[in-house]
Amino acid sequence: MSDFAFQMHQVAKQYPHFQLQNIDLQLPNGGIMGLIGPNGAGKSTLIRILMGLIAADKGTTEVLGHNMPNHQALAKVNIGFVSEDMRLYKNATLQWHMDFIQRIYPEQWNQKYAVSLLSKFDLISEQKIKGMSHGQRVKSSILLMLARQPKLLIFDEPTTGLDPVARKEVLNEMMVVLNDEDRSILFSSHNTQDVEQLSDQITFIDRGEIVSSDDKESFIENWRRIRLHADSPLTISVDQHVKEVINQGRNTTLIMHQFNESMLRQWTQQGAVVKGVEYMSLEEIFVAEVEAKRSGVAA
């Protein structure tokens, strides 16, 4: 049994107007990885390669110890997948879908859990899918996935388009699942708040490339926003640590990577007053990482 829920090594996929390149990514068993990227960054392509739905042009992909896409049927026995663009049979009821999934996974299906999820998600099993709201449809897909208790759960933008109440219900249930340490989760989103709430490992992706991948605490710890005040203009340029300089009159804001206190000295010696050293939100870190990557300044 592999120590990793999945491993991607030098994976590449070429399309006429987009390419996923040199993807090296792995998730340890029991880990929760958030995959953050703007629209069109390659999140869904990466996930579809993991699911065996797309064959990569280069590289190797192993999921739960199975080579993808060749052994996808075996791997998918223990993978649960929900994506924003996934739909159920509109003319069938949720109960019909529950019976169908139970027939596919007779040993894994947990009827008691399914019934409790029906109640938690406020769903009616006899309702046809076409009569459901978008939020109810997403919750139905998640119910069908969770009730069969897969070892690896892959969510591709599951909260996109959900109203705040439905989003909270979905996130709460995902947090309950996280308590099971044997289960691994990959969760893609362009909503950094959702990812920050759930993930312990975060991967940023942009323009088909992994920008950076690390644990959440390291990201938070490595980045700072420094607010300086000086009577005369400061001469600060972008370098290995200073990723962005924003001048607003006498105030200067710096976006810093791998910050340490000693760095402040060089600016105080220039006459600057440090008005604040602040942690950055994951969204700000993501934007800073992506901009640094796009401008060619390695973070």
- Which residues have C-beta within 8 Å of that of residue 36, sequence separation ≥ 6? 188, 189, 190, 192, 195, 202, 203, 204, 205, 282, 286
Q: Which 24-53 residues touch other proteins, going by CB under 8 A? A: 48, 51-53
Among 1, 16, 85, 249, binds other proteins (CB under 8 A): 85
Asked if 183 is part of the footprint of other proteins (rule: CB under 8 A), the reply reads no
Q: How far is CA 8 from CA 25, 66, 213, 250, 251, in A?
A: 5, 12, 13, 48, 45
Q: How far is the CB of 87 from other proteins (least distance, A)?
A: 4
Closest CB to other proteins among 72 and 252? 72
Residue 143 CA to residue 121 CA, distance in Å, equals 8
Asked if 92 is part of the footprint of other proteins (rule: CB under 8 A), the reply reads yes
Asked if 54 is part of the footprint of other proteins (rule: CB under 8 A), the reply reads yes
Asked if 141 is part of the footprint of other proteins (rule: CB under 8 A), the reply reads yes
* R_g over Cα of the chain: 22
DSSP per-residue string spanning 108-129 = T--HHHHHHHHHHTT--TTSBG
Closest CB to other proteins among 11 and 272? 11
Closest CB to other proteins among 68 and 211? 68
3-state secondary structure of 194: helix
Stretch that binds other proteins, among 28-36, 90-98, 164-172, 248-256 (CB under 8 A): 90-98
Q: How far is the CB of 89 from other proteins (least distance, A)?
A: 6
Residue 227 sits at φ, ψ, to 5 deg, of -110, 120
Asked if 133 is part of the footprint of other proteins (rule: CB under 8 A), the reply reads no
Stretch that binds other proteins, among 23-31, 96-104, 179-187, 234-242 (CB under 8 A): 96-104
Q: How many residues bind other proteins (CB under 8 A)?
A: 31
Alpha helices, DSSP H, located in 147-259: 164-178, 192-198, 216-222
Asked if 88 is part of the footprint of other proteins (rule: CB under 8 A), the reply reads yes
Site track for other proteins across 56-75, x = CB under 8 A: -x-----------x--xxxx
Stretch that binds other proteins, among 16-24, 85-93, 248-256, 257-265 (CB under 8 A): 85-93
Closest CB to other proteins among 33 and 75? 75
Residues 99, 103, 109, 112: is their CA dihedral positive or negative?
positive
Residue 204 CA to residue 116 CA, distance in Å, equals 35
Asked if 87 is part of the footprint of other proteins (rule: CB under 8 A), the reply reads yes
Looking at the DSSP bridge assignments, the partners of residue 274 are 228
CB 243 within 8 A of CB 226: no
Structure tokens at 50: 């993991």
Among 3, 18, 24, 89, binds other proteins (CB under 8 A): 89
Instruction: Output the CA torsion 135→141→145→147 (10° steps).
Output: 80
- Which residues have C-beta within 8 Å of that of residue 295, sequence separation ≥ 6? none
Q: Which 98-117 residues touch other proteins, going by CB under 8 A? A: 100, 103-104
Closest CB to other proteins among 92 and 178? 92
Asked if 93 is part of the footprint of other proteins (rule: CB under 8 A), the reply reads no
Closest CB to other proteins among 88 and 117? 88
Site residues for other proteins per CB under 8 A: 48, 51-55, 57, 69, 72-77, 79-83, 85-92, 100, 103-104, 141
